[in-house]
């Protein structure tokens, strides 16, 4: 019997999805993760953990599947996330989104199973390309531009990774994807480790490199952003946990990531962008955990990554449902939706309670591990910064999201409740949130790769956590009642992407203009090409435009290459 | 808690009336919330008293804070005050940040 890598199930599924008609396609999208889960269960209970699917390519040994406890955790996570996401997107009939989402989930699985850096790189790039279509599929001018900016950052991450791998190979002659230490000299492998670190860091959303999250996620389709929130950053956290456990620099960077976004989140109007900032904040906690490097801290970081997919996914789903029904997720234009979307409201509040780490909800079982580890290792400043960040999370994600969308000032929007399949998907996410929070020992903690005897439920943690949460809410209540709280305003807030979007754009246009002129001249001769090769032909086929087509072609070539490599 | 701030007045329209359209319900919820805050604050007197009464080498079972890592954590209501002050500071600083970074929606021209 041959072992099939989890990613391959999704890629083959995507091939079918590309050609299946209508409703069958939607159903098939849901079945792919189910088939994947069956394969995963067979792998685990059959051949068991181990290294599979190794083959020689050129002079390298590529390992498609390193199936250990760390990889298993993320495999389980991604299958569940893909399943819930596909149910949420059941009403989507857009072929591009369905194929992109399936390939995207598959490439995330490929990356976490990759046993060497070259295999990781390939999946890293497929991850970037496939996710782009979840933004572009919204087919607005804004989403196309945001998508390009998103993709540029993903390319930067890929290039850094590629350079890191090349330098590592030059320096050590090895492509091993394992723990490394950041170098402090100027030789190839030292610089290589920094390239790897930054390449992973871009996908983690390190400060100043984070804007693809807050810029790209609000631009995705209502269902696309749910997928986006689940995979890319978690793959990056996986890579960090594989390579840079105990790296002190991560503690500092993580603390910065946990703190700075909450200020932006308070004044941001687009509620999906608020979730983007809150995502950076949560990843900050995970980076701190990986940086501390003790068993408890790393387990905490991984458990939190697991939980984040569900509570953040649930919040993105709730906002996706609001966007679907009302056409907007701007806090300034919403309010009072609890009257027309009561079920979505309740489910959103489960997500909000989970991200805020209320006892019995998932965030409590994982965030407290990182906090305790920080205190145990005497990172005093970091501990109190994280405590502040934890209070801030409740403030901007736990209260602000449900309050401004569903309560607050009644916007008089009377819309239909979210479609049934969306409610089912959200309920699944909510069940995982509550289960992981209430019975962490039964599922979540068993999946953790390192020894773990942590129990979050003692009087100290429960009482102090409730105190900090209730008094954060008190601050919100008092500031609202006294009208000190900043109102939701239609606006944009300048962030690090300003550099690219204002001065950077001017510089780029200086160089791009001549190229564009040449492109226009070439286009004049397009009518001389045989029909099949004309861009117009593709456009009718996929309703995409020039730019998307080019990238689509690259994706297809990469996939074809992968399939050839795998089958050869 | 969050919904407690909806002080929408009852609507004259024939539309169905919802739970937070009645200011009485909002008031009720706010009162429950404030009372819970008070209880959570006062609960911290238990480890304080238990810590004072117990022998130094035999911590009382009621002193749920004896595991705490930092001295300040033993103060009565430390976590409550940290959350309250932290969040007020967060909002006030965010208002300053808004003065610096906020631009009209058309700022980037797309």
Please tell me whether residues A374 and A413 are part of one structural domain: yes
Please tell me whether residues A430 and A512 are part of one structural domain: no
Report yes or no on A339 lying in a domain.
yes
Last residue of a domain, one of A446, A471, A491: A491
The b/e string for A214-223 (b: 16+ C-beta within 10 A; e otherwise) is bbbbbbbbbb
C-alpha span between A11 and A465 (Å, rounded):
43
Transcribe A9-35 into DSSP letters: HHHHHHHHHHH--HHHHHHHHHHHHHH
Whether A528 has a pLDDT exceeding 70, the answer reads: no
Please tell me whether residues A417 and A460 are part of one structural domain: yes
Which residues from B are below 8 Å from A368, CB to CB?
A: none
Report yes or no on A303 lying in a domain.
yes
pLDDT band at residue A229 using 50, 70 and 90 as cut-offs: very high
Searching chain B, which residue's CA lies closest to the CA of residue A469? B83
Report yes or no on A398 lying in a domain.
yes
Q: Indicate the number of domains in chain A.
A: 2
Token pair 């181990």 is at which residue? A50
Counting every residue written for chain A, the total comes to 568
Residue A28 burial (CB count, 10 A): 17
User: Span A37-45, mean pLDDT?
Assistant: 95
- Secondary structure element (H or E) that encloses residue A53, with its range: strand A50-57
Searching chain A, which residue's CA lies closest to the CA of residue B79? A468
> In degrees rounded to 5, what are phi and psi of residue B90?
-55, -50
Whether A515 has a pLDDT exceeding 80, the answer reads: no
- The secondary structure of residue B54, as a DSSP letter, is S
Report yes or no on A22 lying in a domain.
no
Report yes or no on A373 lying in a domain.
yes
Please tell me whether residues A403 and A501 are part of one structural domain: no
Please tell me whether residues A374 and A474 are part of one structural domain: yes
- The secondary structure of residue A387, as a DSSP letter, is H
- Beta-carbon contacts of A91 under 8 Å, excluding residues fewer than 6 positions away, are A26, A419, A421, A422
Please tell me whether residues A475 and A502 are part of one structural domain: no
pLDDT band at residue B62 using 50, 70 and 90 as cut-offs: confident
Whether A74 has a pLDDT exceeding 60, the answer reads: yes
- Beta-carbon contacts of A489 under 8 Å, excluding residues fewer than 6 positions away, are A269, A332, B102
Please tell me whether residues A467 and A506 are part of one structural domain: no
Q: Which of A234, A275, A225 is nearest to A85 (CA)?
A: A225
Residue A468 to residue B82, Cβ atoms within 8 A: yes
pLDDT at B52: 75
Which residues from A are below 8 Å from B3, CB to CB?
A: 338, 402-403, 406-407
3-state secondary structure (DSSP) of residue A492: strand
Question: Residue A420's domain spans which residues?
Answer: 245-491
pLDDT band at residue B74 using 50, 70 and 90 as cut-offs: confident
Select from B44, B90, B109 the residue whose CB has the most chain A CBs within 10 Å, as the one to mutate to test that interface: B90
Least confident of A78-87, A306-315, A501-510: A501-510
Please tell me whether residues A416 and A366 are part of one structural domain: yes
Searching chain B, which residue's CA lies closest to the CA of residue A384? B82
Question: pLDDT tens for residues A109-131?
Answer: 999 999 999 999 999 999 999 99
Select from A262, A264, A475, A506 the residue whose CB has the most chain B CBs within 10 Å, as the one to mutate to test that interface: A475
> In degrees rounded to 5, what are phi and psi of residue A63?
-115, 105
pLDDT band at residue B3 using 50, 70 and 90 as cut-offs: very low
Report yes or no on A445 lying in a domain.
yes
SS3 assignment for A314-382: HHHHHHHHHHHHHCCCEHHHCCCHHHCCHHHHHHHHHHHHHHCCCCCCHHHHHHHHHHHHHHHCCCHHH
Residue B80 to residue A470, Cβ atoms within 8 A: yes
Report yes or no on A269 lying in a domain.
yes
User: Span A513-535, mean pLDDT?
Assistant: 62
Please tell me whether residues A506 and A436 are part of one structural domain: no
User: Span A433-451, mean pLDDT?
Assistant: 94
Question: pLDDT tens for residues A529-557?
Answer: 655 555 544 444 444 444 544 555 565 66
Predicted ipTM beyond 0.95 = no
Least confident of A70-74, A144-148, A204-208: A144-148
Residue B40 to residue A391, Cβ atoms within 8 A: no
pLDDT at A557: 64
Please tell me whether residues A417 and A338 are part of one structural domain: yes
Report yes or no on A305 lying in a domain.
yes
Residue B1 to residue A501, Cβ atoms within 8 A: no
Please tell me whether residues A501 and A437 are part of one structural domain: no
Tokens of A141: 């001018």
- Secondary structure element (H or E) that encloses residue A259, with its range: helix A248-267
Which residues from B are below 8 Å from A403, CB to CB?
A: 2-3, 5
Searching chain B, which residue's CA lies closest to the CA of residue A264? B94
Please tell me whether residues A517 and A416 are part of one structural domain: no
């Amino acid at each position: 019997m041959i072992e099939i890598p989890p990613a391959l199930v999704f890629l083959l599924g995507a091939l079918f999805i590309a050609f299946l008609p209508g409703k069958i396609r939607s159903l098939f999208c849901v079945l792919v993760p189910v088939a994947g889960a069956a394969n995963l269960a067979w792998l685990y209970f059959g051949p068991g953990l181990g290294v599979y699917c190794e083959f020689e390519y050129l002079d390298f040994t590529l390992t498609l599947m390193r199936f250990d406890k760390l990889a298993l955790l993320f495999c389980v996570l991604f299958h569940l996330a893909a399943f819930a996401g596909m149910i949420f997107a059941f009403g989507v009939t857009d072929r591009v989104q369905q194929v992109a989402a399936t390939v995207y989930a598959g490439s995330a699985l490929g990356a976490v199973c990759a046993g060497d850096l070259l295999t990781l790189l390939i999946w890293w790039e497929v991850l970037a390309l496939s996710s782009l279509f979840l933004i572009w599929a919204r087919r607005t001018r804004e989403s196309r531009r945001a998508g390009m900016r998103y993709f540029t950052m993903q390319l930067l991450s890929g290039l850094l990774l590629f350079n890191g791998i090349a330098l590592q190979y030059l320096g050590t002659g090895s492509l091993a994807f394992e723990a490394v230490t950041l170098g402090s000299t100027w030789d190839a492998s030292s610089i290589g480790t920094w390239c790897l670190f930054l390449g992973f860091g871009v996908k983690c959303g390190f400060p100043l490199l984070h804007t693809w999250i807050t810029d790209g996620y609000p631009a995705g389709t209502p269902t696309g952003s749910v997928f986006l929130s689940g995979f890319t950053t978690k793959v990056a956290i996986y890579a960090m946990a594989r390579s840079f456990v105990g790296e002190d620099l991560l503690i500092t960077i993580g603390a910065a990531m946990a703190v700075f976004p909450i200020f932006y989140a308070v004044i941001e109007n687009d509620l999906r962008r608020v979730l983007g900032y809150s995502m950076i904040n949560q990843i900050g906690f995970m980076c701190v955990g990986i940086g501390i490097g003790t068993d408890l801290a790393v387990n905490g970081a991984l458990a939190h990554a697991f939980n984040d997919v569900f509570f953040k996914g649930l919040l993105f789903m709730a906002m996706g449902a609001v966007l679907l029904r009302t056409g907007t997720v701007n806090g300034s234009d919403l309010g009072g939706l609890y009257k027309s979307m009561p079920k979505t409201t309740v489910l959103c509040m489960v997500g909000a309670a989970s991200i805020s780490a209320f006892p019995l909800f998932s965030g409590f079982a994982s965030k407290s591990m990182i906090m305790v580890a920080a205190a145990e290792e005497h990172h005093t400043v970091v501990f109190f910064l994280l405590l502040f960040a934890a209070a801030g999370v409740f403030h901007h994600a736990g209260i602000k999201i449900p309050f401004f969308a569903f309560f607050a000032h009644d916007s008089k929007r009377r819309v239909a409740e979210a479609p049934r399949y969306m409610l089912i998907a959200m309920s699944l996410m909510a069940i995982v949130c509550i289960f992981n929070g209430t019975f962490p020992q039964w599922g979540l903690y068993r999946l953790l790769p390192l020894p773990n005897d942590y129990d979050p439920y003692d009087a100290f943690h429960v009482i102090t956590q409730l105190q900090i949460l209730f008094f954060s809410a008190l601050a919100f209540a008092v500031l609202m009642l006294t009208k000190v709280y900043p109102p939701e305003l239609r606006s944009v807030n300048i962030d690090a992407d300003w550099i690219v979007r204002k001065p950077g754009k001017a510089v780029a246009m200086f160089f791009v203009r001549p190229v564009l002129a040449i492109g226009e001249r070439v286009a004049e001769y397009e009518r001389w090409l045989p029909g099949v090769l004309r861009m117009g032909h593709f456009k009718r086929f996929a309703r995409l435009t020039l730019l998307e087509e080019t990238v689509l072609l690259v994706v297809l070539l990469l996939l074809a290459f992968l399939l050839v490599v795998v089958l050869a | 808690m969050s919904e407690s701030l909806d002080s929408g007045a009852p609507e004259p329209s024939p539309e169905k009336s919802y739970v937070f359209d009645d200011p009485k319900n909002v008031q009720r919820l706010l009162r429950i919330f404030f009372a819970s805050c008070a209880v959570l604050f006062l609960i911290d007197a238990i480890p304080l008293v238990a810590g004072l009464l117990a022998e130094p080498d035999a911590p009382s079972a009621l002193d749920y804070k004896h595991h705490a890592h930092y001295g300040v954590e033993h103060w009565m209501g430390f976590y409550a005050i940290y959350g309250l002050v932290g969040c007020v500071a967060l909002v006030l600083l965010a208002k300053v940040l808004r003065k610096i970074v906020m631009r009209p929606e058309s700022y980037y021209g797309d």
